[in-house]
């Protein structure tokens, strides 16, 4: 078998394929064969480069040269100039390809073996801890963290350094450091991926936290639904103890710190820090009023510092690379990066980490490779059931904590669900309310009863019984729930309702006034009927109908009785002549 | 392994581990080993990465190829799971997506044995912290 001298990687992502990258690859192969270079150069189609606005992208290895906007007719030039003469094709050259993603929290994920501590150490693991313990006072370390501008990645965006400082200042012989790994948003898996891919980064940051806040005990609160993350954390804790990164007299500095695990049963509300603490205490996972804040009175009534997994994963890098380095990434008020779980109707579903300040357009149409099946983008939900939807007009807004709130959504923990023209926004709001109703702990009335009523109103609208005044009812009730609920769950649960009404009022109106679901999702509002020109009278639909709603003689046009039809869609599936349509 | 007693101890240890790894990457005479990493987060495993990893481990041994197969965490390319990174000594690492047993066989026969790339390459689309000054 021949050893190729070079490979031409042709982007085969959806967006480049639309720009005829397949033809380009074929043309390149033909040119190579024609020039008798079959054994020298190989053409391979790849997955998406995430550079969709530069398509079609071609990368030449081993030289690592990029060509952009390459058209099928450019194949000849590339082969003759680059391969034969060894000269770059200047007019197509794309220098310094701008990779949109920066991996800080995910720096080791997919690179190291999470069950081998040596691989973590090889990538400078535990050096930040060593540096902080040996060379810095807790006050200096906290000041550095405050200066870095790191904000909590769990959702609220509270400055991490200030939280540490609050805990440090409370006098107590016993304090606790907690890692909140109760990730519960539908569609979010950032924290699980970090724990499964790089557990030591979280352990290291917790030990730094302990030193800074004056605590010797760390607890990781993780849902039992994450068995692999639990397994890898246990292995990591065991290895860290063996190496002396946890336990007594860490790195000969006299500081002692150890970590234990606490398991949750997977309740969404336990991501709220007071509820989380009660769950760890063996009580019902219900929130309590703040103040007292956990930094003053938390686990077992002792000062407790709770941070999220992703926040922790950033911390060792901030200490090893320094504040100046970190502050270069992100925007003025939101420093660093954010991990998002990109899901829904997007081509490249995946786990991404982007610098704050990037636009939604870059995330969805470049990193995400655009909307599946070439459909039209409709909205993106950030912040899961606590967030809101953003639309076309928000695509160029830089993503940071404050801008997302101003746009009516929130950063949340990092779920990002992309929706296209086939999604009904009333149904989306109902989906999230379904979740909130299920997950409400029931302690306070506005959340327990209010969300249930919101859900009923949405149900009424999607089943075709909505009245004009229902929209005002939804808005008023939403505002009451937001203003009067005890914890973050209730205070944010109406957001999906409010933001879909704000951005997609026309869809609500269509459901209520015209009894129609424009996206064709809400079954109760759809009517199945038979197109006379297409019906051949084969009786297949009538035989498929479970309720006998279809009548008609053999070889004659059939008819669906709307009063009997249950809109199951069996007739549409069975018809071979496209005679059954739904509107 | 004994305890790491100081920051200096830790730095020495890291240097030792690093030089061992760089020797491997340069393809020094001592360890001319093909490195294969399989993404093994829960979601990867659900898409079949454990079967892929087992297949690669068994087949590389059966076919007498000096290779080291290890697991790693999420690579982030969920749309193309299972994903596998292959580093041939002296060459840049290449990530392949959609690696079922058939694709794994193709990777062994064509890429590892012959240096010929196969379809399904996932371009790395991020900068890691080392690339930012």
Q: Are strands B67-72 and B94-96 parallel, antiparallel or unpaired?
A: unpaired
Structure confidence at residue B1 (pLDDT): 60
Which runs of consecutive H residues, i.e. helices, occur in A388-441? Answer: 401-406, 425-439
Of B74, B114, B127, the CB nearest to A99: B127
What distance in Å separates the CA atoms of residue B119 and residue A43, rounded to the nearest whole number?
Answer: 9
ipTM comes to: 0.93
Domain assignment present for residue A474? The answer is yes
Q: Number of structural domains, chain A?
A: 5
A98 domain-assigned? no
For residue A205, the SS3 value is: helix
Is residue B113 one of the residues assigned to a domain?
Answer: yes
B97 within domain boundaries? yes
3-state secondary structure of A274: helix
Position A16 in a domain: yes
pLDDT of residue B21: 73
Query: In terms of C-beta density within 10 A (0-12 exposed, 13-18 middle, 19 or more buried), how is residue A227 classed?
Result: exposed
pLDDT band at residue A549 under the 50/70/90 scheme: very high
Q: Which of A364, A388, A420 finishes a domain?
A: A420
Q: Tell me, what's the pLDDT at A182?
A: 95
Where is the domain boundary, A460, A483, A513? A513
Cβ neighbours of A102 in B, within 8 Å: 126-127, 129, 132
Round to whole Å and give the CA distance between A22 and A506.
41
Is residue B26 situated within a structural domain?
no
CB-based burial label for A281 (10 Å; 0-12, 13-18, 19+) = middle
d(CA A90, CA A93): 5
Phi, psi of A568 (to 5 degrees): -85, -20
Model confidence band, residue A377 (pLDDT cutoffs 50, 70, 90): very high
In chain B, which ranges are continuous DSSP H helix? Answer: 7-26, 42-46, 49-62, 101-106, 113-114
Asked whether residue A208 falls in the same domain as residue A259, the answer is: yes
The percent of residues above 90 in pLDDT, for chain A, comes to: 84
Contact of B9 with chain A, judged by CB distance below 8 Å, is answered with yes
Identify the CATH number of the domain in which residue A311 sits: 3.40.50.11540
What residue numbers bound the domain in which A374 lies?
337-420
pLDDT, one tens digit per residue, over A244-266 is 999 999 999 999 999 999 999 99
**What integer pLDDT is reported at residue A5 of this predicted model?**
86
CB pairs < 8 Å spanning A and B = 189
Count structural domains, chain B: 1
Chain B nearest-CA residue for A349? B79
CATH number for the domain spanning A570: value is 3.30.70.20
pLDDT score at B2 = 78
Same structural domain for residues A18 and A60? yes
| Opening angle at CA B49, ends A223 and A199, nearest 5 | 40
Residue A1 domain-assigned (yes or no): no
Q: Tokens 């079949």, residue?
A: B48
A477 to each of A449, A484, A494, A502, A510, how far by Cα in Å?
Answer: 11, 11, 9, 15, 21
Task: Please give the distance of CA A332 from its chain centroid, rounded to a whole number.
Answer: 23
Among A353, A388, A420, identify where a domain stops: A420
Say if B91 falls within a structural domain: yes
Closest chain B residue to A195, measured at CA: B73
CATH number for the domain harbouring residue A370: 3.10.20.600
Residue A342: inside a domain: yes
In a domain, B9, yes or no: no
Residue A256 forms part of a structural domain:
yes
Q: What is the pLDDT, as a whole number, of residue A472?
A: 97
Rounded to 5°, the CA angle A168-A172-A174 comes to: 100
- Which residues on chain A are in Cβ contact (under 8 Å) with B129? 102-104, 107, 317, 321
B19 within domain boundaries: no
With a cut of 90, say whether residue A154 has pLDDT above it.
no
Collapsing DSSP to helix, strand or coil, A532 comes out as coil
Asked if the Cβ–Cβ distance from B91 to A62 is below 8 Å, we say: yes
* A294 C-beta neighbours (distance < 10 Å), count: 23
A155 in the same domain as A77: no
User: Is B89 within 8 Å of chain A by CB?
Assistant: no
Q: Assign residue B110 the CATH number of its domain.
A: 3.40.30.10
Looking at per-residue pLDDT, the higher value among A96 and A362 belongs to A362
- Judgement on whether residues A313 and A295 belong to the same structural domain of the protein: yes
Q: In terms of residue numbers, what domain contains B115?
A: 33-125
The CATH number covering residue A476 comes to: 1.20.1440.230
What proportion of chain A, given as a percentage, has pLDDT over 70? 100
Q: Determine, yes or no, domain membership for B130.
A: no
Q: Which of A11, A108, A347 lies at the smallest CB-CB distance from B79?
A: A347
Q: Are residues A481 and A536 in the same domain?
A: no
Check CB contact of A528 with chain B, cutoff 8 Å.
no
Q: Is B18 on the interface with A (CB under 8 A)?
A: yes
**pLDDT-flagged residues of chain B (< 70):** 1, 23-31
The answer on A402 and A265 residing in a single domain is no
Q: Identify whether residues A532 and A562 lie together within a single domain.
A: yes
Task: Specify whether A264 is located in the same domain as A221.
Answer: yes
Residue B68, classed as helix, strand or coil, is strand
In this prediction, residue A187 has a pLDDT band, given cuts at 50, 70 and 90, of: confident
Q: Which residue of A has its CA nearest to B130?
A: A107
Residues A189, A211 share a domain: yes
Q: Is the pLDDT of residue A134 over 50?
A: yes
B50 located within any domain: yes
Hey, are the CB atoms on A197 and B41 less than 8 Å from each other? yes
Q: What is d(CA B40, CA B53) in angstroms, rounded to the nearest whole number?
A: 9
Contact state of B71 with A4 under an 8 Å Cβ cutoff: no
A467 within some domain:
yes
Q: DSSP for A94-162, please give it.
A: --S----EEESTTTTTTTS-TT-HHHHHHTTTTHHHHHHHHH--HHHHHHHHHHHT-B-TTSS--BHHH
Residues A413 and A442 in one domain: no
Domain co-membership, A232 together with A288: yes
Give chain A's mean pLDDT: 94
* pLDDT tens column, A201-247: 999 999 999 999 999 999 999 999 999 999 999 999 999 999 999 99
| Residue A480: how many other CB atoms lie within 10 Å | 13
A348 found inside a domain: yes
Are both A131 and A279 inside the same structural domain? yes
Q: Is the pLDDT of residue A507 over 50?
A: yes
Contacts with B, A 32-61, CB within 8 Å: 42, 44-51, 59, 61
As a whole number of angstroms, the distance between CA B34 and CA B91 comes to: 10
A4 close to B (CB below 8 A) = yes
- Rounded alpha-carbon distances, angstroms, from residue A348 to A10, A158, A195, B71, B128: 17, 31, 22, 23, 20
């Amino acid at each position: 078998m021949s050893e190729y001298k070079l490979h031409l990687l042709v982007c085969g992502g959806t967006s480049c394929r639309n720009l005829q990258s397949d033809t380009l690859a074929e043309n390149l192969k033909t040119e190579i064969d024609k020039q008798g270079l079959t054994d020298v150069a190989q053409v391979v189609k790849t997955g998406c480069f995430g550079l969709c606005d530069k398509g079609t992208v071609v990368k030449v290895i081993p030289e690592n040269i990029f060509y952009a906007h390459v058209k099928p007719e450019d194949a000849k030039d590339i082969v003759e100039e680059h391969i034969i003469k060894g000269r770059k094709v200047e007019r197509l050259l794309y220098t310094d390809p701008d990779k949109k993603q920066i991996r800080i929290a995910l720096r080791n994920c997919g690179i190291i073996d999470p069950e081998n501590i040596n691989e973590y150490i090889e990538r400078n693991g535990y050096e930040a801890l060593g540096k902080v313990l040996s060379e810095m006072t807790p006050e200096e370390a906290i000041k550095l963290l405050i200066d870095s501008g790191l904000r909590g990645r769990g959702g609220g965006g509270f400055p991490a350094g200030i939280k540490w400082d609050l805990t440090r200042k409370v006098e107590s012989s016993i304090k606790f450091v907690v890692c909140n790994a109760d990730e519960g948003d539908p569609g979010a898996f950032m924290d699980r991926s970090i724990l499964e891919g790089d557990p030591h980064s979280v352990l290291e940051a917790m030990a730094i936290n302990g030193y800074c806040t004056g605590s010797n005990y760390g607890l990781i609160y993780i849902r039992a639904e994450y068995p692999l993350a639990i397994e890898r954390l246990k292995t990591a804790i065991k290895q860290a103890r063996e190496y002396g990164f946890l336990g007594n007299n860490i790195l000969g500095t006299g500081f002692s710190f150890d970590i234990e695990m606490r398991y949750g049963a997977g309740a969404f509300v336990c991501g709220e820090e007071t509820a989380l603490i009660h769950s760890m205490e063996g009580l019902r996972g219900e929130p309590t009023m703040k103040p007292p804040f956990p930094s003053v009175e938390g686990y077992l009534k002792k000062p407790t510092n709770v941070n999220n997994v992703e926040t922790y994963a950033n911390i060792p890098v901030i200490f090893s690379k320094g504040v100046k380095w970190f502050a270069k990434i992100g925007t003025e008020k939101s420093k660093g990066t954010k991990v998002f779980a990109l899901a829904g109707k997007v081509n490249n579903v995946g786990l991404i980490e982007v610098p704050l300040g990037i636009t939604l357009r870059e995330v969805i149409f470049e990193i995400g490779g655009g909307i599946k099946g070439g459909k039209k983008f409709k909205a993106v939900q950030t912040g899961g059931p606590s967030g809101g939807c953003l639309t076309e007009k928000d695509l160029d807004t830089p993503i940071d904590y404050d801008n997302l709130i101003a746009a009516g959504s929130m950063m949340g923990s990092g779920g990002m669900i992309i929706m296209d023209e086939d999604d009904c926004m009333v149904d989306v709001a109902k989906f999230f309310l379904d979740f909130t109703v299920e997950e409400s702990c029931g302690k306070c009335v506005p959340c327990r009863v209010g969300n249930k009523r919101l859900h009923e109103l949405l149900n009424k609208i999607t089943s075709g019984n909505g009245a004009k005044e229902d929209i005002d009812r939804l808005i008023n009730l939403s505002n009451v729930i937001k203003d009067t609920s005890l914890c973050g769950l209730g205070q944010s649960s109406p957001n999906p309702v409010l933001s879909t009404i704000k951005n997609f009022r026309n869809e609500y109106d269509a459901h209520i006034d015209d009894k129609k679901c424009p996206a064709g999702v809400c079954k109760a509002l759809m009517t199945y009927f038979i197109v006379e020109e297409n019906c051949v009278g084969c009786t297949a639909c009538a035989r498929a109908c479970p309720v006998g709603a279809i009548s008609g003689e053999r070889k004659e046009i059939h008819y669906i009785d709307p009063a009997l039809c249950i809109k199951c869609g069996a007739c549409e599936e069975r018809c071979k002549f496209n005679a059954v349509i739904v509107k | 392994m004994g305890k790491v007693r100081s920051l200096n101890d830790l730095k020495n240890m890291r240097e030792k581990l690093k030089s061992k790894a760089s020797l491997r990457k340069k393809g020094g005479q001592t360890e001319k080993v093909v490195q294969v990493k399989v993404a093994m987060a829960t979601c990867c495993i659900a898409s079949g990465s454990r079967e892929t990893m087992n297949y690669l481990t068994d087949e590389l041994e059966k076919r007498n190829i000096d290779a080291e197969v290890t697991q790693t965490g999420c690579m982030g390319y969920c749309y193309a799971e299972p994903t596998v990174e292959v580093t041939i000594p002296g060459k840049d690492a290449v990530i392949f997506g959609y690696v079922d047993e058939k694709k794994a066989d193709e990777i062994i026969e064509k890429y590892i044995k012959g240096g010929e790339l196969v379809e399904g390459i996932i371009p790395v689309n991020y900068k890691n912290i080392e690339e930012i000054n």
